[in-house]
Amino acid sequence: MSPATPTLETAREAFPVTRECIYLNTGTYGPMPEPALQELLEATAAAERQGIACTRDIMQDVNRARQGLAAMVGVEPGQIAMSRNSTDGINLVLAGLDWRPGDEVITTDEEHEAMWHPLLYLRATRGIVVHRISVSPDAETMVERLRQVASQRTKLLTFSHVPCETGTRLPAAAMCRWAREHGIATMVDGAQSVGAVPVTLPELGCDWLAGNGHKWLHGPKGTGFLAATPEAMLALRPAHVGAGSLAEADWQAGRAVPHATGERFEYGSRDLARWAGMHASLDWMGVVGWPAIHAHIARHASALKEGLLSLPGVRLLTPVAAEASAGLVSFVIQGHSFQAVMDHARSRRSIHLRPVPHYNATRAATSVLTNSGDVEALLEVLRELPA
């Protein structure tokens, strides 16, 4: 059982997975802390067992989750649209803007399918032009790359704050500032940054920030959000509306006006119980303390990078500097396939990693549930690999 008031020292006890294996894949799925999981299960049981007779005010859970997410990314609750995942948030923006053939978008060449598939789809169906620039943690370099591809037709700059394969942290604020100065709208995919490093929408200076609950926020699967400035939220035309998303619905007058807030994207009957789990996770992580969690993640990522660099034949894909990275650490071991590295780590010490086949690399994620023993165990099994 985890203590009632978790601290950074006791946080690990709230994650039973740490007693079964060495879990270094919060970058894919962050397990929920046990007390938050209990809250999710209770809310789900109440809704599913009692149906309409359920006395739990589930909208209160939704609102608490909205407030928690808003506080997390430095906006007002009305600036949050609840979604199912990051991909959802990205699609709300891409589908909510007006596109003409020839409109241009700038993104990077390290995007997750969550970004490049919707962009590819827009290109195929609406005739937009997509420029993909390569990635660097250096602000001047990135701004120069933007300058080289931007044109009068550039309408949107959209990119991952921390691309999932190399784990580089992009100089998002400088990129968004440059875009804003040039009249280009901006969207940041915060799937690998929100919760892993401090991130707020005002500090990024972007119009939209998409994220999910199931990685670094350790919330339930199927939770995500789109945060926006009030103007940017209003600028999106929802592709779908229904019960709950319209502020004005007047058949006689022919008026259908979506809410000005994120609720413009929320409609119909949904699994609202998961938001009880989401706010419970946020509350729990908040008690542990976000500054302490961010420092913990960075400290363990740095220790892992340092250890990896001392091994023969290891090449890091992730920048060494903490401010140029987050919680992901990707590496290549010369002479070994990513699959061999993953299989070896799994069979020797039950270490769970993530493959990055594109670079023949392996990715580890250090998170709130990681301790120095986990980092040492990974380094130890890698040392056993023949040079």
**CB of 87 vs ligand PLP, minimal distance in Å:** 3
Residues in contact with ligand PLP, shown as a per-residue x/- string from 183 to 202 under the rule CB under 6 A: ------x-xx----------
Interacting residues with ligand PLP between 309 and 338 (CB under 6 A): none
* Smallest distance from ligand PLP to CB 85, Å: 3
Distance (Å, whole) CA 206 – CA 158: 9
Binding to ligand PLP (CB under 6 A) within 28-47 occurs at: 28
Q: Which is nearer to ligand PLP, 35 or 224 (CB)?
A: 224
Q: Which of 212, 281, 325, 366 binds ligand PLP (CB under 6 A)?
A: 212
- What number of chain residues touch ligand PLP (CB under 6 A)? 14
Residues in the chain: 387
**DSSP classification of residue 33:** P
Q: Cβ closer to ligand PLP: 159 or 307?
A: 159
Which residues are 365's β-sheet partners? Answer: 328
Phi, psi of 41 (to 5 degrees): -65, -40
Provide the minimum distance between the beta carbon of 187 and ligand PLP in the complex, in angstroms, as a whole number.
12
Considering the complex, state which of residue 154 and residue 160 has its C-beta at the smaller distance from ligand PLP.
160
CA-nearest of 320, 326, 325, 382 to 353 is 382
Nearer residue to ligand PLP within complex by CB, 154 or 212: 212
* CA within 13 Å, CB half, 248: 8
At residue 49, the 3 state secondary structure works out as helix
Q: Work out how close the CB of 134 gets to ligand PLP at its nearest, in angstroms, rounded to a whole number.
A: 16
Which stretch, 81-89, 253-261, 304-312, 333-341, contacts ligand PLP (CB under 6 A)? Answer: 81-89
Element (H, E) at 211: strand 208-212
Q: Which is nearer to ligand PLP, 221 or 349 (CB)?
A: 221
What is the smallest separation between the CB atom of 114 and ligand PLP, expressed in angstroms? 3
- Interface with ligand PLP (CB under 6 A), residue from 30, 33, 219, 224: 224
Handedness of CA 369, 370, 373, 374 (dihedral sign): positive
Q: Give me the least distance between CB of 203 and ligand PLP, in Å please.
A: 19
> How far from 185 is each of 131, 149, 191, 264, CA to CA, in Å?
15, 15, 19, 20
Q: Kindly tell me which residue out of 14, 80, 92, 114 binds ligand PLP, with binding defined by CB under 6 A.
A: 114
Min dist CB 112 to ligand PLP, Å, is 4
CB of 192 to ligand PLP, least distance (A): 5
* Residue closer to ligand PLP, measured from CB, 135 or 332: 135
CA–CA distance, 181 with 303 (Å, rounded to integer): 39
CA 30 to the chain's CA centroid: 11
Using CB under 6 A as the binding rule, whether residue 160 contacts ligand PLP is answered as yes
- Residue found under tokens 């804003």: 180
Q: Which residues of 126-154 are buried (b: 16+ CB within 10 A; e: fewer)?
A: eebbbbbbebbbebeebbebbeeebeeeb
Structural contact between residues 329 and 365, judged by C-beta atoms closer than 8 angstroms: yes
Residue ranges in 83-112 that form contacts with ligand PLP under rule CB under 6 A: 85-87, 112
Q: Stretches 29-37, 79-87, 245-253, 272-280: which one binds ligand PLP (CB under 6 A)? A: 79-87
In the bound state with ligand PLP, the residue whose beta carbon lies nearer, of 24 and 381, is: 24
Fill in the amino acid letter for 39. E
Least distance from C-beta 117 to ligand PLP, angstroms? Answer: 10
Tokens in use for 219?
A: 């919330």
* Least distance in angstroms from the C-beta of 330 to ligand PLP: 12
Task: Report the alpha-carbon angle 116-118-75, nearest 5.
Answer: 90
Cα–Cα dist 188/211, whole Å? 9
Give the nearer residue to ligand PLP in terms of CB position, either 191 or 209: 191
Which one, of 303, 302, 322, lies nearest residue 168 by Cα? Answer: 322
Binding site for ligand PLP (CB under 6 A): 28, 85-87, 112, 114, 160, 163-164, 189, 191-192, 212, 224
